[in-house]
Structure 1
Amino acid sequence: MLLAYPFRLFFLLTGIFGAVAVLVWLAVLLGWLQFPAGISPPLWHSHEMLYGFVPAAIAGFLLTAMANWTGLPPPSGYPLLALGALWLAGRLAMALTGWLPNWLVAAIDLSFLPTLAFYALLILRRAGNSRNLPLVAVLAVLAAGNVLMHLTLLGLTPTLGYMGELVALDTIAVLMAVIGGRIIPAFTDNWLIRQHKPQRIRRQPRLDQATLLATILMLPADLLAPASLGAGMIALAAGLFHLLRLCGWQGWHTWREPLMWILHVGYAWLALALLLKGLTPLSAALDTSVWYHTLGVGAIGTLIIGVMTRVTVGHTGRPLTLLRGTQPIYWLVSAAAVLRVSATLSGAPWMLYAAALAWVAAFALFAVRYAPILSRPRVDGQPG
């Protein structure tokens, strides 16, 4: 059943890899594991989280969502297995950096995102679904950022690895703005209707457009003048727009349903990350690592967990509520975000280690608890 639908395979891979990659990184931090000479451990860590962990989650969500958008069947069986194997080959190649030639590592790892983008382009064009074609451009930009990181890993341009990180963070922020802006208010509105509550989501198209524009503009600003006052002002505006947008979604009404409030919490981390990014050029107390991890651990980690848990129960025919005994997943990923940002601000090593352990526990618990659901047929007998 893992090959019956994309979310099944890729969400399980995301959970397993999310735990394993950070566990390896913790072993490096504690001095229990050493990388081969010539490899930057921080660069490996940022690459594997931004260009390994996140693309697996994107693939699981996007390939599943496209079936709904287009009415066309998603990849399944051997084609899905091949795509999953391509992603896994990239992770194995990156793990063998230092033993394999760097050009071979780059060739293997760089193949997944263009393949995913090309497949999405074919399906969306076949269905005449032009509305979602910009998501193909987002994948293409993310693939280009991966090229920048590999140029540094190849030893050709040492400074481009940093730019590759910025491209990934900014591009993923755009993706969260687009997807989050679609699903969070829609899911919230539907939940309020099911609960017979009188509240309704306030949709503000002009605010949505301003939010998306400001978030998109962060990328050229960072490429032209990273960490500048101008780039900071754009990020600050984007953060304020995201915060206003979030307030309009009235997430406080969903506090009784963890499957709902976790999405609002994840989006709040996005707004906070961009606000901190905007304030960084203005404050000597802030460095780029603060907003990096607010976005990476807080927004990305929380939204990935929130979306995976909701999509899994929804697409396996179960009630749209959090599985019994799995709420600790949400508390653990939230604790990881708070501790990681606090570690950056305070410099306390124990907070860093605790954050890593909380993250590992959250994604390991997701993998263990949801693996039986992802690998079994739908409970309602429907295909998928």
Structure 2
Amino acid sequence: MKNKWLSLINLETKAYAHQWFFLAACGYAILIMPLTMLARHGYGPAILAVPANHAFEMLFGFALALIAGYLLGPMPRRQLALFLFFWLLARLTGLTNMATWLVLASNAVFAVLLAQQLLPRLWVAKKWRNRILAPLLGLICILSIAVSLISQSGHHELMRYLLGESVQLFALLMLFMGGRMLAPAIAGEFYRQGMELQARVQPRVEAGLIVTIIAAVILAPVSTSVSGILLITSGMLAAIRLFRWQLWHCLARPDLICLSIGYAWLAMGLIMLGSAKLDEHIHLGTAIHAITVGALGTLACNVLVRVSLLHTRQYPSHIAHILVITVCMTVAAMLRISADFSVYREILLAASAIVWSISFFIVLVILFSCLVREPIRKTAVDTSLLSMKTSKHNALR
């Protein structure tokens, strides 16, 4: 009884990180692409007209907010507000090009707070494949500070190189977390149909993904061709892993199909990235956008919706909007890739940005609908708490 009492009190004093950071990341995603397009034509924040700065905001602004929302879990409200404050401060000062020291400091504080909160929790894992998540996130947080510092010091070539290598680390993170989300969900659907999925997490394939991508990052300064071959290998391993999940048995689950489309973008993006490295970095930007728009955009939308719906005890498979969102994001990715091969580049870029924003606007509507349902759950908790207080009072009498 005492433990139940304490748990109910904790529910009142804590907030869920995904509710705050998912809304912030979704709102930022809606704005960042149109602002970038406006900046290209002299109407938006001038800093976004520089491709490297746009890439930084996508990776260490948008994607890092997604990581925070997904992994932080329930936290004291004041502590969570502190995290969100520094993230917002970094975004606002960065876009408005205010005091450079404030941009650097706010990015650094947020990265340090995030690492300090997550790394000890992730390091306790027993298997090395699970434990690799801690140094991977630590390296991403370090790169967030390093790239911000290098940007302020004016070493733009080094900044572009580090951003390119950071994409591979985010791809590895998506492969790891996407696989851990898809495998049990697909296995559950197999069980519901009276079947058994033999290939679930696929530890050997996952180990191969970890080794090849990390090796590709380490060897990139030494041999670009070897790094490219390793990335192609990792993309093929991701495709094999996806094939072995036998998703043709899950056609009645659009939520799983949509998640797998994001995973397929990862596999294709890594193969494209490796091929670009072998071909003297021709179409390197195209390959990077296959990962950042196709994979990151699709997986982000689906994870935002999935986590928020499950938190309010709704089933993602019953939400038709997931299909619409994923189709829109696929169109956005294809438009962005096509822009690099078309004479109508600016028109296709603008169309891609609009469709991207539409996708995240639909996600934002779903997130707000989940927030509306949340007070219903809180009312139930308050009722249980009042009932326990009444019972305790009667017992004392």
TM range (shorter): 0.7 to 0.9
Residue aligning to 2:33: 22
Q: Tell me if structure 1 keeps the 8 A contact 2:225–2:278.
A: yes
SS in 2 for 1:4: strand
Aligned residue among 41, 44, 51 for 1:33 = 44
Distance 2:270 2:204 in 1: 20
1:15/1:344 Cα in 2 relative to 1: closer, same or farther (>3 Å)? same
Q: Tell me if structure 2 keeps the 8 A contact 1:262–1:330.
A: yes
Residue aligning to 1:353: 350
Q: Tell me if structure 2 keeps the 8 A contact 1:293–1:341.
A: yes
SS in 2 for 1:318: coil
1:371/1:346 Cα in 2 relative to 1: closer, same or farther (>3 Å)? same
Per-residue deviation, residues 156-178 of structure 1 (Å, max 9, x unmatched): 42222112212320111111121
Residue aligning to 2:117: 119
Residue aligning to 1:59: 68
Per-residue deviation, residues 116-161 of structure 1 (Å, max 9, x unmatched): 1111134456xx4455543231222112222342234213422221
TM-score (norm 2): 0.84
Per-residue deviation, residues 12-31 of structure 1 (Å, max 9, x unmatched): 11110111111211212344
Distance 2:318 2:70 in 1: 18
Distance 2:218 2:280 in 1: 24
Aligned residue among 344, 352, 370 for 2:367 = 370
- Size of the aligned set, in residue pairs, is 365
Are 2:48 and 1:50 equivalent residues in the alignment?
no
Residue aligning to 1:68: none
Report the residue type matching 1:166 in the other structure: G
Q: Tell me if structure 2 keeps the 8 A contact 1:9–1:60.
A: yes
Are 2:141 and 1:143 equivalent residues in the alignment?
yes
Per-residue deviation, residues 350-378 of structure 1 (Å, max 9, x unmatched): 22111111101111221123213135427
Residue aligning to 2:330: 334
Cα displacement (A) at 1:82: 1.4
Residue aligning to 1:167: 165
Q: Tell me if structure 1 keeps the 8 A contact 2:254–2:322.
A: no
Are 2:4 and 1:8 equivalent residues in the alignment?
no
Report the residue type matching 2:212 in the other structure: A
1:313/1:235 Cα in 2 relative to 1: closer, same or farther (>3 Å)? same
Q: Tell me if structure 1 keeps the 8 A contact 2:212–2:234.
A: yes
Residue aligning to 1:69: none
Cα displacement (A) at 1:317: 1.3
Report the residue type matching 2:275 in the other structure: L
Cα displacement (A) at 1:198: 2.8
Residue aligning to 2:299: 303
Distance 1:152 1:351 in 2: 32
Residue aligning to 1:243: 239
Residue aligning to 1:190: 188
Distance 1:213 1:243 in 2: 16
Distance 1:124 1:205 in 2: 18
Distance 1:375 1:130 in 2: 39
Structure showing greater Rg: 2
Aligned residue among 205, 223, 229 for 2:225 = 229
Q: Structure 1 stretch 267-276 or stretch 88-97: which is displaced more?
A: 88-97
Structure number with the bigger relative contact order (C-alpha 8 A, sep ≥ 6) is 1
Are 2:103 and 1:105 equivalent residues in the alignment?
yes
Distance 2:14 2:334 in 1: 36
Residue aligning to 2:87: 87
Distance 1:370 1:168 in 2: 29
Q: Structure 1 stretch 292-301 or stretch 177-186: which is displaced more?
A: 177-186
Distance 2:46 2:349 in 1: 20
Distance 1:320 1:2 in 2: 28
1:7/1:273 Cα in 2 relative to 1: closer, same or farther (>3 Å)? same
SS in 2 for 1:371: helix
Residue aligning to 2:256: 260
Distance 2:14 2:37 in 1: 32
Cα displacement (A) at 1:328: 2.0
Q: Structure 1 stretch 319-328 or stretch 134-143: which is displaced more?
A: 319-328
Distance 2:277 2:19 in 1: 42
SS in 1 for 2:103: helix
Report the residue type matching 1:367 in the other structure: L
Q: Structure 1 stretch 256-265 or stretch 315-324: which is displaced more?
A: 315-324
Residue aligning to 1:220: 218
1:379/1:184 Cα in 2 relative to 1: closer, same or farther (>3 Å)? farther
Are 2:77 and 1:77 equivalent residues in the alignment?
yes
Distance 1:112 1:34 in 2: 22
Q: Tell me if structure 1 keeps the 8 A contact 2:17–2:72.
A: yes
Cα displacement (A) at 1:284: 7.1
SS in 2 for 1:345: coil
1:252/1:216 Cα in 2 relative to 1: closer, same or farther (>3 Å)? farther
Distance 2:297 2:221 in 1: 25
Q: Tell me if structure 1 keeps the 8 A contact 2:290–2:333.
A: yes
Distance 2:145 2:355 in 1: 31
Q: Tell me if structure 1 keeps the 8 A contact 2:332–2:355.
A: yes
Superposed CA RMSD in Å reads 2.5
Q: Tell me if structure 2 keeps the 8 A contact 1:290–1:345.
A: no
Distance 2:52 2:230 in 1: 26
Please identify which structure carries the higher helix content: 2
